[in-house]
Amino acid sequence: MSHLVAPSILAADFANLQRDIEMVNQSEADWFHIDVMDGVFVPNISFGMPVIAAVKKHATKIMDVHLMIVDPDRYIADFKKVGADVLTVHYEACHHLHRTVQAIKQEGMKAGVSLNPHTPVAVLEDIIRDVDLVLLMSVNPGFGGQRFIENTYKKISELRKMIDLSGSTAVIEIDGGVTDKNAEKLIETGANVLVAGSFVFKSKDPNRTIRELKHLSY
């Protein structure tokens, strides 16, 4: 499949959120990426259910919700109610990952699992056929605008081999420090979905930036 682009709403202008949502709607972006942070699992707090519900009222594309929170199981049904289409939890936050993945699917959402930069992809070997998406953090989670961690390429390659050998249909999503300088190599290495926050919303022409990320010459 051709790769997908998912602008991260965390980097949008919150004073003009509807404007930025409409921009993404009208752009060549495929998904909205929404980071939920609790100030416990990561050292930052973002937004919760009311803001996601407000985004859903205007968004016309897939809602890709990334939970950077402890005990995500408590809120799975709630995120479905406010509009999540894809729900991603962290391997590091789940005591019973298989149960969590199944609970997400039972609510009718695609199930994703995210790995922090220090977590090896090998931990997913026993569950890779059950997940729809693997999100590799290419920065330490919690804040936007960080520098891309180069070891991510090695992890993408390892994960791509695991997916292909297992017969899994999971897609690989990359989140953190994605720009026009590394996007092409990320896709060439095996990534399917690029999350871009600051690079899109802080650019002079976000719509054009999205278009350029979508039409890489790999």
Give the pLDDT means over successive 10-residue stretches in the chain (218 positions).
Answer: 92 95 98 96 91 96 97 97 98 97 98 97 98 96 77 98 98 96 97 96 97 87
In the residue annotation, 205 being an active-site residue is answered as no
**pLDDT at res. 147:** 82
Query: Looking at the 3D structure of the chain, how many domains does it have?
Result: 1
In the residue annotation, 35 being an active-site residue is answered as yes
Check if the beta carbon of residue 209 is closer than 8 Å to that of residue 29: no
Q: What DSSP string describes 85-116?
A: SEEEEEGGG-SSHHHHHHHHHHTT-EEEEEE-
CA proximity to 89, closest of 118, 117, 109, 69:
69
Check if the beta carbon of residue 39 is closer than 8 Å to that of residue 13: no
Q: Which of 20, 35, 64, 85 is catalytic?
A: 35
**pLDDT at res. 145:** 63
pTM of the model: 0.96
Query: The CATH number of the domain where 147 resides is what?
Result: 3.20.20.70
Indicate the helix (H) or strand (E) that contains 158: helix 152-166
Q: What is the pLDDT of residues 102-142, one digit of tens each?
A: 999 999 999 999 999 999 999 999 999 999 999 999 998 77
Q: Which of 20, 38, 132, 175 is catalytic?
A: 175
**pLDDT at res. 141:** 78
| CB-count burial class (<10 Å; 0-12, 13-18, 19+) for 13 | exposed
**pLDDT at res. 125:** 97
Q: Which domain holds residue 24?
A: 4-214
